[in-house]
Structure 1
Amino acid sequence: MWGDLHRVPSGPRAQAAGRIADGLFRHAVSRLPVRVEFPDGRVLGDPAAPDAPVMLVHRPRDFTARVGRSGLIGFGEAYMAGDWSAPDLTAVLEVFAARAATLIPGPLQRLRGMVIPKPPGSEKNTTRNTRSNISRHYDLSNELFGLFLDDTLTYSSALFGRDETVPSWDDLVSAQHRKIDHLLDGAGVREGSRVLEIGTGWGELAIRAAARGATVRSVTLSTEQQDLACKRIAEAGYADRVQVDLLDYRRVDGRYDAVVSVEMIEAVGHQFWGTYFRTLDRVLAPGGRVAIQAITMPHDRMLATRNTYTWVHKYIFPGGFLPSVRAIEEITEHQTNLRVRQRLSMGDHYARTLRLWDERFAEHADDVAALGFDDVFRRMWHFYLCYSEAGFRSGYLDVQQIVLDRRDA
């Protein structure tokens, strides 16, 4: 499963790349509020930040060899392999995320296109590839997701109340319902509404829309999610109001009063954003509204990284890419009749959500192992959750609820 992860790069070329990576890493961390400790007692980092988060490098040669071979992919792989660790992984990753655009010296950034790997063609989200890409993440195991998600099985940012700045696990269900209800309100879902949901998840949004008296068609490409969503919808008593289809969003037909989609655009791929929004425009009935929840990144970083193959692509979300708000506005303005009418920024809420998920995942480490997921997978998943939380805490990432309607509405 892990390919060459267990083989440390070797040979003259790997050694040369490792030396370069070592120099770049030392240069980067010498200016950062982070404390990097080595087995021989050496310490790197900004000496003016004595309380900085600690990164423990256990196998320096292996660490730099992996970074030298694969850059930031190798940085994540080195964590998966146990070459380094951190008592507070999110805090360390937040330091790097906050300075992502300047970690590499400016002159070397001009060489980015020559050294950074490109996404493989097999991960481009064509109608042929998309189901496989989705399956690699969402069909891992319903039981796995159930171990760290709350009872709603909602795998997206919650929306916490004003007094829940440091939420507990018991706050999460109501915060997920608050998020869903805010999105349904934005889309105008009410008694008699015809609702299309792109990206079913495990059915909670469809259930809450049906509880309002709407009829719902939900589409997904995950067989695992479709099976469990249908079961949960039936148990909630709404099987007569909700239809869940295993279908690519590009093939949806019909007209709908409301179209909702939660953190689905991230899996579309930047080459198909126009197709995605033209589809929403095509199926939206006159007077209808679209409400999406989208993880976003700064526009300049989006442009700089849109053809980059990353650790997240390789191990978590093949084929995915995050839009900027500006990209969404420009695509909808130039390629559709849809216009952005409302936006709610809630990145800090996602950081809180991810922290609760990661704590829950750690609490259920033995149960994860009992499902057959090994130590490397558990380190990978912990890195993924902390990596994501760090992105939101640093402000590098945001998540938005965006309401759109027609230009002439």
Structure 2
Amino acid sequence: MWTIILNRMLAQLIRQGTLILYFPDGKIQSHGNGKAPSVTVRVLDADLVGRLVRNPDLTLGEAYVEGSLTIDGDDLRGLLALVIANTKGGEALVWWRRIQDAVRVMLRGAAQFNSTRRSAANVEHHYDLSGALYDLFLDADRQYSCGYFILPDDTLEQAQHQKKAHIAAKLCLQPGMSVLDIGSGWGGMALTLAKDYGATVLGVTLSQEQYKRSVERAAEAGLSDRVSFQLMDYRHLTGRFDRIVSVGMFEHVGVPHYPEYFAQVKNLLAPDGIALIHSIGRAAPPSATNPWITKYIFPGGYVPALSEMSAAMEKSGLWPTDIEVWRLHYAMTLAHWLQRFEANMDKIRALYDERFCRMWRYYLVASEMTFRQGRQCVFQMQLANRQDAVPLTRDYITGVSRPDLMHRASLHKDRWDQAAQ
């Protein structure tokens, strides 16, 4: 029975490309239009068929990690690209997916109720893993967020440097300004703003590992007098700052806490201050987090729609002075991370085990394919208390900070077109 239901579901879902499915009883079923791309999947456990029917989004990742589902050539990228490409348009959201998504949206408030204690536990789950792990796939500055690719063949180090420069340009920094970094990671952004732009920076994080490494890095760089870090929740902060920056942290706030988040940004921002919120976003209506990601990678996390961010921001009284959308930049960042992760698989296996390697490979590939084939992007929301806090044209962002690089990018549009394929 479960085999029949699964085949009916896949017949409705896979319309472009080809999915060939081998079942434990020896039966073979093909779905799609018979054209490329073609992916062959083998289900090795009879019980897995029913699990795929009942909760495909959770079970697919679990089956790959546990090895009860294999892909010919281990073509995980091909499988996830095929599935996501067939679901991104909305027309493929057949009845069974609509029901599942509706239930998840109904329950997401409880899943994203991130109190101070729960937020700390969520951060510990992901960010307090071995620092050696992150050294094996991130850039030397440990920037664990989207890079900014001015050219598609920029290195990961170039893209992350350009990301920080782009954000600094939007902050309109002047030497001596006070900056708050909400969700400061391993300290790279804070150290850059102090060293290269003369700011005095306070970074806050809930990660024990990130906090300890950030303090060490500030001391090693001789910047402890201008950069400090605190292990605390942003909601407990007081004072005023000339600038506020938050990169890759808003995804952990949770929809029920959006009004509280933007109200706190306004409270902490000086009257003539500027804030820059950098977050993964969805170019689609509000939804719910993939259950596999919630269970294994980012508990309490959620990728917001722009409408959700904007609704909460509007109630805070802050001015939206610039909103920028980055599209393929995170797909390209993740491709670099995945390449480094796979190249260091033996070292990562020694840190953890084979299951961890398969789980994190699934996470990185699924994330890349979601940005490349799905409706996921990055939002940079620049906010201020005053309407005239920033210049009235955007020239100060690109033309002033990196005119040579921007000119170089304009000369190579063909390479961008090719990279988007």
Q: TM-score, normalised by structure 1?
A: 0.86
Deviation at 1:263, TM superposition (A): 1.1
The correspondence of residues 197-212 of structure 1 with structure 2, limited to 5 A, is 197-211=181-195, 212=197
- Residue 319 of structure 1: SS of its match in structure 2? coil
- Residue 75 of structure 1: SS of its match in structure 2? helix
Partner of 2:306: 325
- State the alpha-carbon separation in 1 of the partners of residues 118 and 96 from structure 2: 37
- Residue 116 of structure 2: SS of its match in structure 1? coil
1:17–1:69 Cα contact (<8 Å) kept: no
Residue of 358, 373, 379 corresponding to 1:379: 358
Aligned in 2, Cα 1:156/1:75: closer, same or farther, shift over 3 Å?
same
- Bigger mean CA offset, 16-25 vs 259-268: 16-25
**1:311 is aligned with what amino acid?**
W
Structure 1 residue 231 corresponds to structure 2 residue 216: yes
2:349–2:356 Cα contact (<8 Å) kept: no
Deviation at 1:146, TM superposition (A): 1.1
Which ranges of structure 1 fall in alignment gaps of 5 or more residues? 1-15
Residue of 28, 33, 46 corresponding to 2:13: 28
2:112–2:254 Cα contact (<8 Å) kept: no
Deviation at 1:18, TM superposition (A): 6.5
Partner of 1:275: 260
Deviation at 1:274, TM superposition (A): 1.1
1:142–1:224 Cα contact (<8 Å) kept: yes
1:184–1:260 Cα contact (<8 Å) kept: no
1:97–1:394 Cα contact (<8 Å) kept: yes
Deviation at 1:112, TM superposition (A): 4.9
Partner of 1:219: 204
2:251–2:304 Cα contact (<8 Å) kept: yes
Deviation at 1:41, TM superposition (A): 7.0
The correspondence of residues 65-76 of structure 1 with structure 2, limited to 5 A, is 65-76=50-61
Partner of 2:403: none
Partner of 2:296: 315
**2:295 is aligned with what amino acid?**
K
- State the alpha-carbon separation in 1 of the partners of residues 100 and 299 from structure 2: 24
**1:71 is aligned with what amino acid?**
P
Partner of 2:41: 56
Deviation at 1:117, TM superposition (A): 9.2
- State the alpha-carbon separation in 1 of the partners of residues 302 and 101 from structure 2: 18
Partner of 1:44: 30
Partner of 1:106: 95
- State the alpha-carbon separation in 1 of the partners of residues 104 and 244 from structure 2: 41
Q: What is the identity percentage for the equivalent residue pairs of Structure 1 and Structure 2?
A: 33
- State the alpha-carbon separation in 1 of the partners of residues 30 and 349 from structure 2: 35
Aligned in 2, Cα 1:320/1:17: closer, same or farther, shift over 3 Å?
farther
- State the alpha-carbon separation in 1 of the partners of residues 102 and 381 from structure 2: 33
Which ranges of structure 2 fall in alignment gaps of 5 or more residues? 389-421
Residue of 62, 77, 82 corresponding to 1:90: 77
Partner of 1:343: 323
Structure 1 residue 157 corresponds to structure 2 residue 161: no
- State the alpha-carbon separation in 2 of the partners of residues 339 and 104 from structure 1: 36
Q: TM-score, normalised by structure 2?
A: 0.84
- Bigger mean CA offset, 95-104 vs 105-114: 105-114
- State the alpha-carbon separation in 2 of the partners of residues 74 and 218 from structure 1: 38
Write out per-residue CA displacement over residues 256-303 of structure 1, whole angstroms, 9 at most, x where no aligned residue.
010000011100111111111111111000111011111001342x2x
1:221–1:248 Cα contact (<8 Å) kept: yes
1:266–1:323 Cα contact (<8 Å) kept: yes
- State the alpha-carbon separation in 1 of the partners of residues 279 and 349 from structure 2: 32
Structure 1 residue 130 corresponds to structure 2 residue 116: no
Aligned in 2, Cα 1:63/1:116: closer, same or farther, shift over 3 Å?
farther
Deviation at 1:309, TM superposition (A): 6.2
- Residue 117 of structure 2: SS of its match in structure 1? coil
Structure 1 residue 399 corresponds to structure 2 residue 399: no
- Residue 290 of structure 1: SS of its match in structure 2? strand
**2:164 is aligned with what amino acid?**
I
- State the alpha-carbon separation in 1 of the partners of residues 294 and 110 from structure 2: 12
Aligned in 2, Cα 1:115/1:318: closer, same or farther, shift over 3 Å?
closer
**2:270 is aligned with what amino acid?**
A
- Residue 45 of structure 1: SS of its match in structure 2? strand
Deviation at 1:329, TM superposition (A): 1.9
**2:366 is aligned with what amino acid?**
Y
Write out per-residue CA displacement over residues 115-167 of structure 1, whole angstroms, 9 at most, x where no aligned residue.
899459576211121100111000111111111111111100111123xx244
- State the alpha-carbon separation in 1 of the partners of residues 266 and 333 from structure 2: 31
Aligned in 2, Cα 1:53/1:401: closer, same or farther, shift over 3 Å?
farther
- State the alpha-carbon separation in 2 of the partners of residues 189 and 342 from structure 1: 16
Q: How many aligned residue pairs are there?
A: 381
- State the alpha-carbon separation in 2 of the partners of residues 297 and 400 from structure 1: 9
Deviation at 1:60, TM superposition (A): 5.6
* RMSD value, Cα: 2.3
1:345–1:398 Cα contact (<8 Å) kept: yes
